[in-house]
């Protein structure tokens, strides 16, 4: 294969690489990879970075983070920001799983408490309580009118209905409710796909994990986030399910019809931010994001209810809830002037430093908690957002390990039984909807999460706070 972009990569400084402006790029590409990660750098992902750099109104750089790999249109692990007047919005810059996101709960339990009940027992119980898998599966029977309220109010709707507390959504990006969400911009088809899926985990790479805080790197920040060594945490990873997928599909089609398909990649189809259609997509995207926030809020509530059967004084507070696939209007310095721009993060996490008003008050003097999940069976990390990230990456860092091996080759080369045994050897139990799911999410098919967060820390776009290791996993 031709390695045009790889050959053109220029080292800017340790861990930072540039793709110069070629082939009609309006800005250079910026890649955040260590020498070690370069072994898994895909030419096609670089090509996607370059394609994104050709989109009108793009500002500063087309960015690829440490976990970057090939996506559709935009790479996964990609960040791009656009001028509001001249720029565009693309559903491909957000992804099909709108607001696929991560929530971390801290508990008042230790491994010894879990041991008294038995890990397997707890895992079975949670697996029964939290609906997962494909299709409908929701425990609720809501009306379309209620669904509209979910789309407008997100996690705040769920709390109002008795699923959890105000503190939960205060510790969620945008207070669990993206503004300017008008349900009439969401198609009936999307609503039909979503209505039976509210409060479900889904399948694929979505999961629920019971973890232990293994190591603290930054005592002061960890304390502010309420984390200490030995504490049991729970991580929830899910998104907007069929509703979000359909919103993306619908607007890909509508934008193709209205503005034509980009000749270099259909998935980069877009509309001007200021256009009617652009505004409608952003509104529908906000609705889908709110669906995802409500989803996790309800799952949080059910986890608490379930754990109450075993631990009457259980506490499971939200540390933070971060979006991975989203576009947001934010203020950043452009040519040393503060300006409102549209930032698209696709498989990337916001990583704001202290002082930003978007961060909940109790963390504002510290910085935003950044939660980076590992792959199944490997460590996850809590980091803290930084001012450097705001300068280098529009306030963003990685969202996970990033895949390196295809699902097809994973299925050929890895057996589910072997993975299960290896996980058990490490003391990790697993419940999954399917064996195929276990194989395709095996630790071997992902990049080394330790290296991903090490580079984030070294570059300074997200500083290490704590390491969490899994003790039990539920895979959708």
Partner 1 sequence: MRKYKFLEHTADIKFQAFGNSLEEAFISSFDALKEIIVEKNRIKSVKKIKLKVKGNDLKELLYNFLEEVLFLLDAKDFIASEIKNIKIDVKKNLFEADVLGDRVSNYKISNDVKAITYNDMSIKEEKGKFIVQVVVDV
The residue among 204 and 460 lying less far from partner 1, judged by its C-beta, is 204
**69 near partner 1, rule: CB under 8 A:** yes
Single out the residue of 133, 142, 334, 388 in contact with partner 1 (rule: CB under 8 A). 133
Q: Which stretch binds partner 1 (CB under 8 A): 31-39, 227-235, 365-373, 400-408?
A: 400-408
Instruction: Say which residues have a Cβ less than 8 Å from residue 313's Cβ, sequence separation at least 6.
Output: 108
Tokens at residue 174, please? 């945008």
Output the six-digit token pair for 365: 């003097």
Single out the residue of 248, 288, 323, 379 in contact with partner 1 (rule: CB under 8 A): 248
Give, as one character, the DSSP assignment of residue 443. Answer: G
Q: Is 309 noted as a catalytic residue in this protein?
A: no
Query: Which of residues 313 and 408 has its CB atom nearest to partner 1 in the complex?
Result: 408
Residue 11's beta-bridge partner residues?
17
Instruction: Tell whether the torsion through CA atoms of 203, 47, 23 and 326 is positive or negative.
Output: positive
- Gap between the Cα atoms of 201 and 435, Å rounded: 17
Dist. CA 411–CA 325, nearest whole Å: 27
- Residue 136 CA, distance from chain mean position: 23
The number of beta carbons lying within 10 Å of the beta carbon of residue 83 is 17
Contact string (CB under 8 A) for partner 1, positions 37-56, x = contact: -----x--------------
For residues 188-217, which are near partner 1 according to CB under 8 A? 189, 192-197, 202-204, 206
Q: What is the C-alpha separation between 473 and 316, in angstroms, rounded?
A: 17
Q: Which stretch binds partner 1 (CB under 8 A): 26-34, 186-194, 218-226, 280-288?
A: 186-194
460 lines the binding site for partner 1 (CB under 8 A): no
Site for partner 1 in 415-454 (CB under 8 A): 433-437, 440
Integer Cα distance of 214 and 467 in angstroms: 6
Cβ neighbours of residue 143 closer than 8 Å, sequence gap 6 or more: none
Point out which span in 5-13, 51-59, 130-138, 463-471 binds partner 1 (CB under 8 A).
130-138
Q: Is residue 183 within the footprint of partner 1 (CB under 8 A)?
A: no
What's the distance, CA 353 to chain centroid?
Answer: 18
Task: Report the length, in residues, of the chain.
Answer: 476
**Other C-beta atoms within 10 Å of 354: how many?**
15
Q: Out of 8, 146, 256, 314, which residue is the one contacting partner 1 (CB under 8 A)?
A: 256
Q: Is 257 near partner 1 (CB under 8 A)?
A: yes
Q: Which stretch binds partner 1 (CB under 8 A): 50-58, 163-171, 360-368, 405-413?
A: 405-413
Q: Of 186 and 316, which CB lies nearer to partner 1 in the complex structure?
A: 186
| Footprint on this chain of partner 1 (rule: CB under 8 A) | 42, 69-73, 76, 96-97, 133-136, 189, 192-197, 202-204, 206, 241-242, 245-246, 248-249, 252-253, 256-257, 261, 265-267, 269, 403-409, 433-437, 440, 476
């Amino acid at each position: 294969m031709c390695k045009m972009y790889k050959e053109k990569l220029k080292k800017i400084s340790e861990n930072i690489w540039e793709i110069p402006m070629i082939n009609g790029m309006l800005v250079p590409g910026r890649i955040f990879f260590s020498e070690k990660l370069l072994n898994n750098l895909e030419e096609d992902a670089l090509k996607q970075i370059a394609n994104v750099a050709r989109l009108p109104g793009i500002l500063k750089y087309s960015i690829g983070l440490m976990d970057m790999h090939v996506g559709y249109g935009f790479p996964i692990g990609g960040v791009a920001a656009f001028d509001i007047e001249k720029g565009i919005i693309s559903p491909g810059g957000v992804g099909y799983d709108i607001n696929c996101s991560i929530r971390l709960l801290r508990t008042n339990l230790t491994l010894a408490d879990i041991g008294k009940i038995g890990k397997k027992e707890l895992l079975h119980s949670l697996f029964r309580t939290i609906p997962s898998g494909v299709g409908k599966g929701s425990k609720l029977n809501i009306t379309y009118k209620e669904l509209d309220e979910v789309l407008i109010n997100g996690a705040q709707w769920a709390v109002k209905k008795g699923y959890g507390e105000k503190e939960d959504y205060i510790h969620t990006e945008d207070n669990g409710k993206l503004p300017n969400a008008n349900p009439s911009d969401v198609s009936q088809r999307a609503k039909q796909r979503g209505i039976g899926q509210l409060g479900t985990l889904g399948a694929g790479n979505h999961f629920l994990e019971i973890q232990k805080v293994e190591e603290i790197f930054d005592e002061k920040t960890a304390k502010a986030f309420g984390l200490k060594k030995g504490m049991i945490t729970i991580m929830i990873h899910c998104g907007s399910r069929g509703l979000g997928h359909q919103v993306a599909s619908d607007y890909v089609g509508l934008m193709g019809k209205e503005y034509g398909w980009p000749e270099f990649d259909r998935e980069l189809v877009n509309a001007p931010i200021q256009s009617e259609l652009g505004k409608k997509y952003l509104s529908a995207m906000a609705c889908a994001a709110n669906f995802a926030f409500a989803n996790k809020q309800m799952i949080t509530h059910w986890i608490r209810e379930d754990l109450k059967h075993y631990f009457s004084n259980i506490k499971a507070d939200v540390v933070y809830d971060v979006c991975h696939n989203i576009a947001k209007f934010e203020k950043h310095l452009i040519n040393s002037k503060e300006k409102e721009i549209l930032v698209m993060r696709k498989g990337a996490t916001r990583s704001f430093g202290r002082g930003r008003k978007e961060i909940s008050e109790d963390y504002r003097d510290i910085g935003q908690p950044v939660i980076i999940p590992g792959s199944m069976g490997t460590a996850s990390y809590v980091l803290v957002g930084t001012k450097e990230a705001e300068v280098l990456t529009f306030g963003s860092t990685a969202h996970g390990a990033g895949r390196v091996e295809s699902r097809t080759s994973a299925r050929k080369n890895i057996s589910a039984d072997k993975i299960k045994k290896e996980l058990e050897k490490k003391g990790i139990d697993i419940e999954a909807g399917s064996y195929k799911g276990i194989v395709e999410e095996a630790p071997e098919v992902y990049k080394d999460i330790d290296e991903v967060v090490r580079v984030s820390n070294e570059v300074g776009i997200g500083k290490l706070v704590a390491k969490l290791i899994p003790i039990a996993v539920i895979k959708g």
